[in-house]
């Protein structure tokens, strides 16, 4: 069953049961997802999580007694389609919030959502979205942009910090060499300058970037360039689909480098697909646990997952759990707004500012505590780094591979970054 048919079925069920609410008794939310485009391999679990979470919210009474009307759309990672959908959502029946997706479209809409006062909770963690007033001078004001987790820049800073410590711990001579790899696109490029600046400050020799497309392909040439460059640490800025191609090609070429993945660049599915080529990749995790982890909040996540997997047997990768957190933070901002003048965009944005070190209800031990203020939308500066471990053949069911420990995500380090004013918006 597709997500749209699932939602339609749910709406029909309400109508048959006589519970159909008039349009004004619903809270409209826009939902932009990539199920078919260049980032769909990570867009699918995240988008499903958002849809499942709001379906679960509706099943449990909605928000302020009103059902959420979630308008989910696959925009194929195409900016013009995102803009067209935004025009619809910002029109006559204006939505109370938008669950967004990519960096290029989120940045393209930043000025519009500020003007129209529509909170835009994206899955882009570009640091340019973290400066609500534009006081940093590094980005335009983004008062209505929110996201859960560290920014791409802060996550890259944490990876570079860990890499510098790793180099020293190994006792290797000379300056380590660092290279940024990824498409020439707003998303992989978002943290590039910030990460390279800190790398240089920490004593790395920063090499010219190596470009590879957002889609899977033959990246043998890039791996040969990486090998000849003598790089010790390589940051992969793309989503996992194309990163898998790079990891496999570089394994075949005998490249000896420590790969550092961005938050969308590695997960359990990617480790299964890349097999031993994914062994050892270090990447940031947004949540405190992975699927099946020991935390009180996992009970809520499992209940939400059953909205699209009644059997409860599907393995949900790290992006699914992060999507649940993102949607539940939005739910609580909406809930505050509903109780304080109504679920208008302006009130929903204020809802994000009401709590400090905040975990959504029922999500203890899953979502990392976050704080947003009207001066600073960096929700957290804590970055948990994990390493993939692949110890055998990865054929078969992901649940079994994780249960047997053939694929593991092992915690490496938590990096607590300082809240430097000069890093705001960058």
What is the Rg, in whole angstroms, of the alpha carbon atoms belonging to the chain?
A: 21
Structure tokens at 324: 């649940």
CA dist 384 → 47, 158, 221, 288, 424 (Å): 23, 9, 32, 8, 20
pLDDT at 9 (0 to 100): 38
Q: Summarize the confidence of residues 260-278 as an average pLDDT.
A: 97
Between CA 159 and CA 284, with CA 411 as vertex, the angle to 5 degrees is 35
CA dist 126 → 74, 307, 345 (Å): 21, 30, 22
3-149+294-351 shares its CATH topology with 152-290+382-423: yes
Phi, psi angle pair for 193, to nearest 5°: -65, -45
Domain ranges of the chain: 3-149+294-351, 152-290+382-423
Query: CATH 3.50.50.60: does it fit domain 3-149+294-351?
Result: no
Give dist(CA 233, CA 228) in Å, integer: 13
Residues for the chain: how many in total? 426
**Virtual torsion, Cα 159, 160, 166, 168, nearest 10 deg:** -160
pLDDT at 92 (0 to 100): 83
Which superfamily does CATH assign the domain made up of 152-290+382-423 to? Response regulator (3.40.50.2300)
pTM of the entire predicted model: 0.93
Over residues 173-210, the pLDDT tens digits come to 899 999 999 999 999 999 999 999 999 999 999 999 99
**Which residue in this structure is represented by tokens 């204006």?**
94
1-10, 143-152, 188-197: which has the minimum mean pLDDT? 1-10
Residue 190: count of CB within 10 angstroms of its CB? 27
pLDDT at 309 (0 to 100): 97
> Helices (H) and strands (E) in the chain — how many of each?
14, 13
Structure tokens at 243: 């990163």
Q: Summarize the confidence of residues 221-238 as an average pLDDT.
A: 98
Over residues 284-330, the pLDDT tens digits come to 999 999 999 999 999 999 999 999 999 999 999 999 999 999 999 99
pLDDT band for position 25 (cuts 50, 70, 90) = confident
Quick one: which H or E segment has residue 370? none
12-16, 297-301, 315-319, 332-336: which has the minimum mean pLDDT? 12-16
Structure tokens at 286: 């947004």
pLDDT at 12 (0 to 100): 38
Give dist(CA 291, CA 323) in Å, integer: 13
Q: Summarize the confidence of residues 337-351 as an average pLDDT.
A: 97
Structure tokens at 384: 């948990």
Give dist(CA 151, CA 162) in Å, integer: 17
Structure tokens at 80: 């013009």
- Mention every residue, 6+ apart, whose C-beta is less than 8 A from residue 317: 45, 267, 268, 269, 291
| Average pLDDT in the chain | 94
DSSP per-residue string spanning 203-222: TPEEPPPEE--SS----HHH
pLDDT band for position 17 (cuts 50, 70, 90) = very low
Give dist(CA 231, CA 225) in Å, integer: 10
Q: Summarize the confidence of residues 228-244 as an average pLDDT.
A: 97
């Amino acid at each position: 069953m597709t997500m749209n048919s699932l939602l339609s079925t749910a709406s029909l069920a309400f109508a048959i049961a006589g519970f159909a609410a008039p349009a004004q008794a619903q809270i409209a939310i826009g939902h932009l997802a990539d199920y078919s485009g260049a980032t769909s391999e990570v867009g699918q679990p995240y988008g499903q999580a958002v849809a499942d979470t709001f379906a679960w919210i509706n099943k449990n009474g909605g928000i302020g007694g009103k059902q959420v009307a979630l308008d989910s759309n696959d925009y194929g990672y195409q900016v013009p389609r995102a803009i067209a959908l935004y025009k619809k959502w910002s029109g006559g029946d204006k939505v109370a919030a938008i669950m967004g997706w990519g960096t290029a479209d989120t940045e393209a809409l930043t000025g519009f959502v500020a003007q129209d006062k529509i909170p835009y909770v994206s899955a882009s963690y570009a640091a340019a979205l973290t400066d609500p007033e534009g006081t940093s001078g590094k980005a335009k004001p983004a008062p209505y942009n929110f996201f859960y987790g560290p920014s791409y820049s802060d996550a890259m800073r944490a990876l570079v910090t860990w890499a510098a410590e790793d180099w020293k711990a190994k006792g290797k001579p000379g300056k380590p060499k660092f290279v940024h790899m990824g498409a020439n696109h707003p998303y992989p490029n978002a943290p590039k300058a910030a990460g390279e600046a800190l790398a240089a400050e920490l004593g790395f020799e920063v090499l010219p970037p190596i470009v590879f497309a957002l889609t899977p392909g033959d990246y043998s040439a890039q791996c040969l360039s990486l090998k000849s460059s003598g790089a010790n640490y390589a940051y992969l800025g793309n989503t996992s689909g194309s990163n898998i191609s790079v990891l496999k090609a570089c394994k075949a070429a005998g490249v000896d480098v420590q790969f550092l993945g961005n938050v969308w660049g590695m997960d359990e599915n990617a480790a299964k697909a890349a097999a031993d080529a994914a062994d050892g990749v270090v990447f940031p995790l947004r949540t405190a646990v992975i699927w099946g982890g020991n935390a009180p909040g996992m009970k809520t996540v499992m209940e939400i997952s059953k909205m699209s997997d009644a059997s409860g047997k599907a393995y949900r990768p790290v992006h699914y759990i992060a999507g649940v957190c993102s949607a539940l933070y939005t739910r609580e901002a909406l809930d505050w707004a509903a109780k304080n003048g109504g679920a208008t965009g302006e009130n929903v944005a204020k809802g994000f500012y009401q709590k400090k070190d905040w975990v959504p209800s029922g999500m203890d031990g899953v979502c990392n505590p976050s704080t947003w203020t009207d001066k600073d939308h960096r929700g957290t500066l804590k970055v948990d780094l994990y390493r993939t471990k692949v110890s055998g053949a990865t054929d078969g069911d992901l649940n079994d591979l994780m249960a047997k420990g053939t694929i593991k995500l092992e915690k490496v380090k938590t990096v607590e970054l300082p809240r430097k004013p000069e890093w705001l918006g960058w």
